[in-house]
Amino acid sequence: MSGLFRSIAHRPADGGRTLPDEGRLAPFDRATGWIGSAPLTPEALRGRVVLVDFWTYTCVNWLRTLPYLRAWNAKYADAGLTIVGVHTPEFGFEHDVANVTAHARALGVEYPVALDADYGVWDDFANRYWPALYLADAAGRIRYHHFGEGEYAMTEMVIQQLLADAGAPDTGPDLVAVEPRGLEVAADWSTLRSPESYLGYGQSSGFVSEDADLYDRAHVYAGHERLRLNEWDLTGDWTVSRHAAVVNEGGGRISFAFQARDVNLVVAPSASGSAIPVRVTLDGRPPGRAHGTDVDDDGRGVIDSPGTYQLIRQPDAVAERVVGIEFPEAGAAAYCMTFG
């Protein structure tokens, strides 16, 4: 189970490995747009070391790699490294260029980003994972790849070696030091026992009240009083669709039995520009010091844009708990819960 949620989003992890030559750098000509750059090609990048990073902005696994990407860009760009982020969306709202642009800016993504709304670049790289990293040498040959989180020291040492092979000035042996905050802080792997869990029926698991006859229509769920670890349930009026659970009336609640330091929710207002209040509880009480960065001590927050929200970060001992996520108003679409 740990391989599913420890280092990679949505699929089992595959550790990075170094190969003499894994193939040529694929083109980006099937990108649907670019942020921060004119369209780039492998030919135009020849002579530079290229790091291609597949991401989608709600992916917590990618968010936890981002501090290193920012630091590598700052340290090595002048020495000959070009990072190309390939934003391949998972959820519908991640196809919106304005959403991606706003989140890239807020997250400090200053390197070029190829928009991959149709999965064309994804397919040309035969990629299957978020996050996924490919390193090409100055001749355009892919020399290293890594899927998922981790292996930061190894990745940076490969960057240094490829830059040296390309004749770049000595960058020194030191590796970058990062200070992640919020969603970017690495998971507490030693206590993590809850996997990424989708709330739409297309990929859901652990939903106690799941009933195929209720898919895609409004239903008032009674909710179960007792949940076992990694089970979840709905209370109130919801429509469970393929990709999300949508609250139809105020008072709808998600309850999830989990074990992890952090609880995060991918959620969006159903109507663009609206702000939906949320209140989070931990074992039925306000979270206090265990609140995440997107809610206060009383568990109150606002969902005002589609994204990943940190609801719980426990500062003390981690044990099995139940998080409650209540929406006092209608209009929120909840897609996925992640843990750290």
293/196 Cα distance (integer angstroms): 19
Rg (CA), the chain: 21
> What are the pLDDT digits (tens) for 177-235?
999 999 999 999 999 999 999 999 999 999 999 999 999 999 999 999 899 999 999 99
Burial-class residue 20 by CB neighbours within 10 Å (0-12, 13-18, 19+).
exposed
> What are the pLDDT digits (tens) for 129-176?
999 999 999 999 999 999 999 999 999 999 999 999 999 988 888 999
Report, as an integer, the average pLDDT of 47-74: 98
Could you give the C-alpha distances from 131 to 37, 235, 296, 300, in angstroms and in order? 21, 33, 30, 31
Q: Which residue has the higher pLDDT, 20 or 88?
A: 88
Task: Give the angle subtended at the CA of 250 by the CAs of 268 and 265, to the nearest 5°.
Answer: 30
Residue ranges of domains in the chain, CATH in brackets: 2-184 (3.40.30.10), 197-339 (2.60.120.260)
Would you state the pLDDT for residue 270? 85
Name the 3-class secondary structure at 76.
Answer: helix
22/143 Cα distance (integer angstroms): 6
Contact indicator for 41, 25 with CB cutoff of 8 Å? no
pLDDT band at 21 (very low <50, low <70, confident <90, very high): low
Percent of the chain with pLDDT over 90: 90
134/93 Cα distance (integer angstroms): 26
Residue 280: how many CB atoms within 10 A of its CB? Answer: 26
Distant-in-sequence contacts of 270-273, Cβ < 8 A, 24+ apart: 270/246, 270/330, 270/331, 270/332, 270/333, 271/331
Q: How high is the mean pLDDT of the chain?
A: 93
Please name the amino acid found at residue 329.
E
pTM of structure: 0.92
Would you state the pLDDT for residue 15? 37
Q: Say if residue 11's pLDDT is above 90.
A: no
Q: Say if residue 18's pLDDT is above 50.
A: no
340/331 Cα distance (integer angstroms): 27
Task: Give the angle subtended at the CA of 301 by the CAs of 297 and 307, to the nearest 5°.
Answer: 125
Residue 73: how many CB atoms within 10 A of its CB? Answer: 18
> What are the pLDDT digits (tens) for 92-105?
999 999 999 999 99
Report, as an integer, the average pLDDT of 290-310: 97
Report, as an integer, the average pLDDT of 317-335: 97
Contact indicator for 32, 115 with CB cutoff of 8 Å? yes
Return the DSSP state at 70.
H
Contacts of 126 (CB under 8 A, 6+ apart): none
Q: Say if residue 8's pLDDT is above 70.
A: no
Q: Say if residue 16's pLDDT is above 50.
A: no
> What are the pLDDT digits (tens) for 226-269?
999 999 999 999 999 999 999 999 999 999 999 999 999 999 99
Name the 3-class secondary structure at 222.
Answer: coil
